[in-house]
Amino acid sequence: MNGGLLSSKNLGKWLLILLPIVASAYLLWPTYSYYQLNQEREALARDSAALEQWDVSNGESFIKARNGRLKLGLDLRGGMYVTLEVDVLKLIEESADPSSVDDDFTKILEKTRRETDNTDNDVLETFLGNFRGSGKSLLQYFTVSNQSDPTEASIEEKLRRDSEGAVEQALEVIKQRINKYELSEVNIQKQGARRIVIELPDVKDEKEIRSLLQTTARLEFKRVVMNRELIRAFYAIDNLLKGVKPDTTVAVADSAALASADSTKADTTKTDTAATAAKTDTAGKKDNPYAGLSDDEAARRIKRDYPLSHMLAGYYAQGENSSYQPFDLILKKPEDFPETGLYRFIVGGKQLPQLLKILERADVKRVMPADIDIIVAAKPEGTPAKDGTPEVYDVYGVAREADLTGDVVTEAFPSFDQANNRPVVMMEMNADGAERWAQITGANINKRIAIVLDGRVYSAPVVQNKIPNGSSQITGSGSPEEANLLAVVLKAGALKAPVKIIEERVVGPSLGEDSIRRGISSSLMSFALIILFMLLYYAWGGGIADIALLMNVLLVVAGLAGFGGTLTLPGIAGLILSTAMAVDANILIFERMREELYAGKTLKQAVDQGFSKAWSAIIDSNITHMLATIPLLIWGSGPVKGFAVTLLAGAIITLFTAVVITRAMFGIIVDSGATTINIGQKRTA
């Protein structure tokens, strides 16, 4: 023998085999860790105090493991699958002048609906084709708000722009609403020309979700109110949550005497910082309840004493040209803050869900001032101070009553300011809206107006001057994408393209668990049959192929976890099929090797010839295999796409395991000095 199996000559081949296994274990570790942590967390579900302590100790690890784990589809996990269709034809109908609509126009609409229902045909192009065929002119029914002398082409362009934006508008509104439910791993995506597919894992109230998805969006323009009155509202909410009567105005109470009525889950970094500041900031205060306490104990008591305020970071500037300076709300009274100036409040992304829950409570709404609402930005922003916070959201005080609603907006589109080439949004209003907008902007020069959609602020621009004609230019967008999003939001109150549910499936958790059991059982049976066949027919060679086959399965599953893929029931079928086809390459190689050995070649020659002569056939079969999955990936959706993903991944990994890994194993055997191996070849007399 030339050397052993573990000789230095074989080191590279062993690394080639072992490194993919180690990499797979690394990618699958979050999956194992998540299910271990999830079991611990579920065991504490009925003990709120223990659960909160567990979240503090293990919350970060739990979230990290959950984000990195192998995700399960709705058919395995349970949840709700909904397909929505945006009614573009309704948008076209509502865009027409009601006084001009006649029987001919109605007939064109009806014909278009018949031709586009239950299809993915372009509704607008079908409508325009039918309209041209009728001999009618678009000018009879449509106008363009910012053009005194519109043309057929300009009307077509407006309808096309509105139709294309209708789906984006619906997408944004639905995303904003679904986010309020704090569901993890929600998948919302556009499908085809006018459909939206939504996957909602772990949904418990299907009726509420249906109502939520089909409710008309509400766009409002509200004055921003950021002053000492807003700070007073923060403290009133703190007092309510910690059990102090609403008429009590004590700013700092004895923490030992306060009841822990509704503690919140806060970002520990923010709380610890507040605790340190509270312990050291004793100027002007005879009694500091946090002095002398450890950081952990001070943080715990601050969370109890300031259930809402401890989550907020405040910034203040005296005027537009002044820089923002941070300040803390802890151990303060409303009278400690200036009445005039610019205030800004932010909340960390980790604390946002808890803050939103507090603000939605009926008792919290009752203790707030009658004319102020506290709402949060729809998207994260940076902070004035570079404090390293990864994600923060602005918290706004706005007038409770809207100054204007979105139904007056007739047009909104992104553009660029020619003076500085920065992205802006152009907005047009109807005559009634323009008159009211002129009054609002004239009364709020150098003040901010919040653009609110479904209770979240998308922008809060400063009014530079009175706008008399309803044609506004909104600046402040950091990128063209932000400008486009704001335009979509503004049109949410103008476009009347409702959405309807055209498909809905609900999978219960028990059915999902049953699918997992059946999927695992069928997979194990399939693997067992393949492994048994290879062992019986190809002996030791079959054993090598079986090891490569198991590595194939491991790498496919690890790849799905590593690249954020989702394992579905059809995906399991694709995995079984791909593993069955994986041994096909080994069969081609083994048959060539058997022929070479039967012809009297040495084991080394038979191995070399077997792999080299079978290579072209292996490549051909796997390429055709991959090509067959491409149409499924492009045009398929849901279960079909899940099947195609695992099938394609299996085909790619098969080339590695069946050729590279198997070749490395045979190379180790040959280099160790073996002269023969039983792969079921015919024996000569």
* 221: confidence class by pLDDT, cuts 50, 70, 90: very high
* 439: confidence class by pLDDT, cuts 50, 70, 90: very high
Task: Give strand pairing partners of 566.
Answer: 71
Question: Is the model more confident about 447 or about 244?
Answer: 447
* 248: confidence class by pLDDT, cuts 50, 70, 90: very low
Question: Is the model more confident about 457 or about 288?
Answer: 457
Q: Are 194 and 91 in contact (CB under 8 A)?
A: no
* 261: confidence class by pLDDT, cuts 50, 70, 90: very low
Mean pLDDT of 484-501: 73
The first and second tokens of residue 531, run together, are 């492994």
pLDDT computed for residue 259 by the predictor = 29
**Where are the alpha helices (H) located in 257-390, listed in sequence order?**
268-280, 295-305, 352-359, 362-367
Kindly list the structural domains of the chain, giving each domain's residue range(s) and its CATH number in brackets, ordered by start. 8-64+508-671 (1.20.1640.10), 82-217+497-505 (3.30.70.3400), 223-402 (no CATH), 404-487 (3.30.1360.200)
Expressed in angstroms, the distance from the first to the final Cα of the chain is 26
In this predicted structure, the answer to whether residue 140 has a pLDDT above a threshold of 70 is yes
Reported as a single tens digit per residue, the pLDDT across 16-47 is 888 999 999 999 999 899 888 888 888 887 77
Reported as a single tens digit per residue, the pLDDT across 552-587 is 888 988 888 888 777 887 888 888 887 777 788 888
What does the DSSP 8-state code read for residue 462? Answer: B
Q: Is the pTM of this model over 0.85?
A: no
Please report how the helices 509-562 and 11-43 are oriented relative to each other, as an axis angle in degrees rounded to 10. 140
Mapping DSSP to helix (H, G, I), strand (E, B) and coil, where does residue 390 land?
coil
* 146: confidence class by pLDDT, cuts 50, 70, 90: low
In this predicted structure, the answer to whether residue 449 has a pLDDT above a threshold of 90 is yes
State how far the Cα of 409 lies from the Cα of 428, in Å rounded to an integer.
Answer: 6
* 267: confidence class by pLDDT, cuts 50, 70, 90: very low
Rounded to the nearest angstrom, the gap between the alpha carbon of residue 92 and the centroid of all alpha carbons in its chain is: 31
Reported as a single tens digit per residue, the pLDDT across 57-113 is 887 788 888 878 888 777 777 788 888 888 888 888 878 887 788 888 888 989 998
What is the phi/psi pair of residue 423, to 5°? Answer: -65, 140
* 224: confidence class by pLDDT, cuts 50, 70, 90: very high
Mean pLDDT of 7-12: 72
* 419: confidence class by pLDDT, cuts 50, 70, 90: confident
Q: Are 557 and 647 in contact (CB under 8 A)?
A: no
pLDDT computed for residue 596 by the predictor = 83
Measured CA to CA in angstroms, residue 642 lies from 218, 571, 636, 639 at distances of: 36, 5, 9, 5
Can you tell me which residue has the tokens 């390293």? 388
Sort strands 472-474 and 71-72 into parallel, antiparallel or unpaired: unpaired
Question: Is the model more confident about 146 or about 595?
Answer: 595
Mean pLDDT of 511-517: 70
In this predicted structure, the answer to whether residue 365 has a pLDDT above a threshold of 90 is no
In this predicted structure, the answer to whether residue 668 has a pLDDT above a threshold of 90 is no
SS (H, E, C) 491-551: HCCCCCCCEEEEEEEEECHHHHHHHHHHHHHHHHHHHHHHHHHHHHHHHHHHHHHHHHHHH
Mean pLDDT of 235-246: 80
* 399: confidence class by pLDDT, cuts 50, 70, 90: very high
State how far the Cα of 316 lies from the Cα of 345, in Å rounded to an integer.
Answer: 9
State how far the Cα of 610 lies from the Cα of 612, in Å rounded to an integer.
Answer: 6
pLDDT more than 70, % of the chain: 85
In this predicted structure, the answer to whether residue 215 has a pLDDT above a threshold of 70 is no
* 251: confidence class by pLDDT, cuts 50, 70, 90: very low
Torsion region of 85: left, alpha or beta (phi above 0 gives left; psi -120 to 50 gives alpha): beta
Q: Are 551 and 661 in contact (CB under 8 A)?
A: yes
**Where are the alpha helices (H) located in 256-385, listed in sequence order?**
268-280, 295-305, 352-359, 362-367
Of 126-130, 434-438, 651-655, the range with the lowest mean pLDDT is 651-655
